[in-house]
A and B are shown apart, each in its own frame.
Chain A
Amino acid sequence: MQLTLWTYEGPPHVGAMRIATAMEQVHYVLHAPQGDTYADLLFTMIERRSKRPPVTYTTFQARDLGGDTATLFKTAVHEAYERFQPTAMLVGASCTAELIQDDPGGLAHALELPIPVVALELPSYQKKENWGAAETFYQLVRALAGPSAPASGSAPRERIAGTQPRCNLLGPTALGFRHRDDVQEISGLLKQMGIDINVIAPLGATPADLSRLGDADFNVVLYPEIANPAAGWLQRTFGQPSIKTVPIGIGATREFISQIAQLCGIDPAPFLANTEARSPWYSRSVDSTYLTNKRVFIFGDATHAIAAARIATEELGFSVVGLGSYSRELARELREAAKRYGVEALITDDYLEVEASVDKLQPDLVLGTQMERHIAKRLGIPCAVISAPVHVQDYPARYSPQMGFEGANVIFDTWVHPLMMGLEEHLLGMFREDFEFHPEAAASHLGQSNTAAAQRKPEALKAASVTEAAAMTDSEILVREVATTTETDAHKIADASAQSSAKASAAWAGEAEKELTKIPFFVRGKARRNTERYAREKGVTTITVEVLYDAKAHFSR
């Protein structure tokens, strides 16, 4: 543990809150001081949930510490039960309350409530949010599904002949990265394949649902960071196998379908060729050639980071220059993945270390969390967000999954757009001295640009550039550069307009004019002007195809 301003994960009781909030009819009594109630805002403001998380805080204050905080806790549990009438309860302490050692589990047990009460022991100073969520989910599953476990040593239950295969979807929580939409996408896919969903948990599940987990034939672990321990217990207790391929990306989605089909004895072929999957063609199309070998840096939770690395290399033709994660629980998988791409895994929860790595590698694109978005912004590198920690913008109103075929479409758009924006900026930079694009030019789509520029007097432009220089105070050198560039531009423009009014341009031969149309529109104007200048300098009166290419050769020298 170290003193830090920003963390990738919250304390483990926030993980427990993510489970409680995702579920129905569960209430979590948290022994916590007043300030810890801020965590509610994560769910109401960032995730934009329509109700508060089902959490009661004991909110002890400094003066309570001299009194009986244990009674305070017992009263809070009792009142929460009376008021919210949950069918199962979680009790535990936040990081601060852990220090006063009131033993919430023992206290709640003594109240003898008529519902299952699961006591959480979450070591706040050693573990983090995802671990807390996984532990909470495991304890709930064990407490609620445990009573219906078959006697140890008895044969695993067989699927009744003629019925559809059934599975549980495990792992989606509140405050997860696109969990809501992933569940919808994967549920649809399974439905297409003729597979029933027994329980989706924890998102939307009730305690009664958890007690039915054993009725499924197998489990689908959507988010290993959350569901791995619970899936392991279900496998040991009910003999349910787990599908652990996370269907993020086209390749992984196909693998996911094949594995499920194999497990259930169905033919995967009809589900593998999906016509809605546009990302494979888009990424092969000519328009996407600029994606090839773009250097990407990837950081996130292990599941999303590993999936991103696979998509980047196998599906988009990027090259991975850095791969890392803050999920120590899955560090092993991440290291293996990093080895496959020939990079060293960066396992850390220190964002400064990540920033240093990005700065050193200078990738073309950063795929990361909201933390990396800030880092990339500071370093002026395009970025797309692929994983929690989340931001309000990661809860779009529209349908926007990461998993399945639609997820792959979403990922294609999300990753490619920042690069395209980058391309546009690059072009803007390239033509900044061009009269159409200089900072003072009016927007070209308004149709006024040429007249606007031509009507201005060089003096006016000069004045404008001085004002601009005065406004920019952060970098003296940059300001001076801008100022001089604008000044020369102004002269150039003045020259150009003078010459065009005096009429001096060489004439274009028909075929040369035709050849000019082959040049991409965004450089055509520049090519035309350069060629004319060349012709003028050389004293050529008719511009032929040869002159055009001589000019090109001249200027590219």
Chain B
Amino acid sequence: MSAVSAIPVAVTHKPRPRLDGEGSLQVPLDPNLKIGNAKVFAVYGKGGIGKSTTSSNLSVAFSKLGKRVLQIGCDPKHDSTFTLTKRLVPTVIDILETVDFHGEELRPEDFVYPGYNGVMCVEAGGPPAGTGCGGYVVGQTVKLLKEHHLLEDTDVVIFDVLGDVVCGGFAAPLQHADRALIVAANDFDSIFAMNRIVAAIASKSKNYNVRLGGVIANRSRETDQIDKYNQAIGLETLARFPDLDVIRRSRLKKATLFEMEPSPELEAVQNEYLRLAGNLWMGTKPQLTSPLKDRDIFELLGFE
């Protein structure tokens, strides 16, 4: 229709929200952006701890339980869904650039790739290093998924979040998630990182639905350090994955654990993933904890 359309004064005069932080640009998320009825998990942890491996295997485990799963990689490295799709898929930001950010020109198949066992895979991608905002990228991705109705026919959404940056990009998935899961190994550095993540989730949970789900102990035969920390703040370990060579090899083979040659130890790991997925689907109780002070964590775990 041809109509005279006036821009409401309220739009043009809407004050820009003050930018927060120093040095990094934070783009506030659209407060109306809600994910539908799917259960949403966000996986966090120190860089290199195995978040992508854990997320991908967990996605497959959910799909083995008959759930429709969407995994969203939120790392500029964009290899979160690598073992599912067997390749580096283009990121949402790459695709949006090809249409000059006119998202309405896109089709779901442009940015959603079917992976192993029907897991739908999306790589949000990231802004150029040192500039832009990861939160913007996550926000655009969720908006696009929603506009193409991909979240309405999904049971589980897993955000695999970049590990080493604590900023808007780090926080964005927390706005959408029901449970945040932390992947940690039995060493000081990853527990120290976990403590910071606990702090971030605690502060986000004041305004959003997100609650801490628990710890996934990865690459660790022993878990004494994690247990010590958990006890100190009242946190639970949801699953334990030992440091198995088959897990490392699966990554090199571009495969999830569910596609590897069967062996008893592998079967145990697969069952652990299925158990974890089952528990998460049934619903874990929210863990309301407060983080340790930096000094306290040094005292608790020593300086080794």
Which chain A residues have a beta carbon within 8 Å of chain B's beta carbons?
A: 1, 3-11, 14, 38-39, 42, 46, 95-96, 99, 101, 121, 125-127, 129, 131, 138, 142, 175, 229, 233, 236, 328-329, 331-332, 369-371, 388-391
Shortest 3 CB-CB contacts between residues of A and residues of B: A389-B2, A328-B104, A331-B105
CB distance from A277 to the nearest CB of B (A): 32
Q: Are A142 and B1 in contact (CB under 8 A)?
A: no
Q: Are B105 and A390 in contact (CB under 8 A)?
A: no
Beyond A5-B4, A129-B1, 18 additional contacts (C-beta under 8 Å) are A3-B7, A4-B5, A6-B2, A14-B3, A38-B3, A42-B1, A96-B8, A99-B10, A99-B14, A121-B32, A125-B11, A142-B152, A328-B102, A329-B104, A331-B99, A370-B2, A371-B2, A390-B1
Query: What CA separation (Å) do A138 and B147 show in the bound complex?
Result: 11
Residue from A121, A126, A328 in contact with B105 in the complex, judged by beta carbons closer than 8 Å: A328
CB distance from A91 to the nearest CB of B (A): 15
Interface residues of B in 132-152 (CB under 8 A from A): 149, 152
Please, which residues of chain B bring their CB within 8 A of the CB of A96?
8, 10
Known A-B contacts A101-B31, A101-B32; A175 and B1 likewise in contact (beta carbons under 8 Å): yes
CB distance from B146 to the nearest CB of A (A): 8
Interface residues of B in 65-122 (CB under 8 A from A): 99, 102-105, 107
Known A-B contacts A99-B10, A101-B32, A142-B152; A131 and B104 likewise in contact (beta carbons under 8 Å): yes
Q: Does B20 contact A (CB under 8 A)?
A: no
Q: Are A42 and B3 in contact (CB under 8 A)?
A: yes
Please, which residues of chain B bring their CB within 8 A of the CB of A121?
32
CB distance from A316 to the nearest CB of B (A): 27
Known A-B contacts A99-B11, A236-B153; A11 and B5 likewise in contact (beta carbons under 8 Å): yes
Residue from A9, A127, A138 in contact with B149 in the complex, judged by beta carbons closer than 8 Å: A138
Please, which residues of chain A bring their CB within 8 A of the CB of B32?
101, 121
Known A-B contacts A99-B10, A328-B105; A14 and B153 likewise in contact (beta carbons under 8 Å): no
CB distance from A122 to the nearest CB of B (A): 11
Number of B interface residues in the complex (CB < 8 A): 21
Which chain B residues have a beta carbon within 8 Å of chain A's beta carbons?
A: 1-5, 7-8, 10-11, 14, 31-32, 99, 102-105, 107, 149, 152-153
CB distance from A267 to the nearest CB of B (A): 35
CB distance from B250 to the nearest CB of A (A): 28
Interface majority SS (helix, strand, loop, mixed), chain B: loop
Query: What CA separation (Å) do A230 and B110 show in the bound complex?
Result: 19
Q: Are A10 and B1 in contact (CB under 8 A)?
A: yes
In chain B, what residue has the closest Cβ to A153? B66
Query: What CA separation (Å) do A177 and B32 show in the bound complex?
Result: 34
In chain B, what residue has the closest Cβ to A99? B10
Please, which residues of chain A bring their CB within 8 A of the CB of B104?
127, 131, 328-329
Residue from A10, A126, A131, A233 in contact with B3 in the complex, judged by beta carbons closer than 8 Å: A10
CB distance from B69 to the nearest CB of A (A): 14
Please, which residues of chain A bring their CB within 8 A of the CB of B11?
99, 125
Q: Are A8 and B10 in contact (CB under 8 A)?
A: no
Please, which residues of chain A bring their CB within 8 A of the CB of B103?
126
Known A-B contacts A99-B10, A101-B31, A233-B149; A10 and B105 likewise in contact (beta carbons under 8 Å): no
Q: Are B4 and A388 in contact (CB under 8 A)?
A: no
Q: Most chain-A Cβ atoms within 10 A of its Cβ — which of B3, B7, B14?
A: B3
Please, which residues of chain B bring their CB within 8 A of the CB of A4?
5
Interchain Cβ contacts under 8 Å between A and B, 9 examples: A1-B7, A10-B1, A10-B5, A14-B1, A14-B3, A126-B103, A332-B107, A389-B2, A390-B1
Query: What CA separation (Å) do A58 and B302 show in the bound complex?
Result: 64
Query: What CA separation (Å) do A286 and B125 show in the bound complex?
Result: 61
In chain B, what residue has the closest Cβ to A391? B2
Please, which residues of chain A bring their CB within 8 A of the CB of B102?
328, 331
CB distance from A104 to the nearest CB of B (A): 11
Known A-B contacts A101-B31, A121-B32, A233-B149; A329 and B105 likewise in contact (beta carbons under 8 Å): yes
Q: Are B2 and A8 in contact (CB under 8 A)?
A: yes
CB distance from B110 to the nearest CB of A (A): 9
Query: What CA separation (Å) do A96 and B99 show in the bound complex?
Result: 28
CB distance from B100 to the nearest CB of A (A): 10
Query: What CA separation (Å) do A517 and B79 show in the bound complex?
Result: 83
CB distance from B238 to the nearest CB of A (A): 28
In chain B, what residue has the closest Cβ to A33? B8
Residue from A6, A11, A131 in contact with B4 in the complex, judged by beta carbons closer than 8 Å: A6
Residue from A1, A328, A388 in contact with B1 in the complex, judged by beta carbons closer than 8 Å: A388
In chain B, what residue has the closest Cβ to A331? B105
CB distance from A7 to the nearest CB of B (A): 5
In chain B, what residue has the closest Cβ to A371? B2
Query: What CA separation (Å) do A3 and B9 show in the bound complex?
Result: 12
Please, which residues of chain B bring their CB within 8 A of the CB of A138?
149
Please, which residues of chain B bring their CB within 8 A of the CB of A391?
2
In chain B, what residue has the closest Cβ to A233? B149
Query: What CA separation (Å) do A26 and B125 show in the bound complex?
Result: 42
Please, which residues of chain B bring their CB within 8 A of the CB of A371?
2
Please, which residues of chain A bring their CB within 8 A of the CB of B152?
142
Please, which residues of chain B bring their CB within 8 A of the CB of A101?
31-32
Please, which residues of chain B bring their CB within 8 A of the CB of A127?
104
Query: What CA separation (Å) do A142 and B2 show in the bound complex?
Result: 30
Query: What CA separation (Å) do A390 and B104 show in the bound complex?
Result: 23
Please, which residues of chain B bring their CB within 8 A of the CB of A8?
2
Please, which residues of chain B bring their CB within 8 A of the CB of A7?
2-3, 5
CB distance from B105 to the nearest CB of A (A): 5
Q: Are B8 and A99 in contact (CB under 8 A)?
A: yes
CB distance from B302 to the nearest CB of A (A): 50
Please, which residues of chain B bring their CB within 8 A of the CB of A39?
3
Please, which residues of chain A bring their CB within 8 A of the CB of B149?
138, 229, 233
Query: What CA separation (Å) do A3 and B11 show in the bound complex?
Result: 12
Query: What CA separation (Å) do A391 and B2 show in the bound complex?
Result: 8
Please, which residues of chain A bring their CB within 8 A of the CB of B7?
1, 3
Please, which residues of chain A bring their CB within 8 A of the CB of B153?
236
CB distance from B3 to the nearest CB of A (A): 5
CB distance from A349 to the nearest CB of B (A): 10
Query: What CA separation (Å) do A10 and B1 show in the bound complex?
Result: 6
Please, which residues of chain B bring their CB within 8 A of the CB of A131?
104
Please, which residues of chain B bring their CB within 8 A of the CB of A126?
103
Query: What CA separation (Å) do A232 and B4 show in the bound complex?
Result: 33
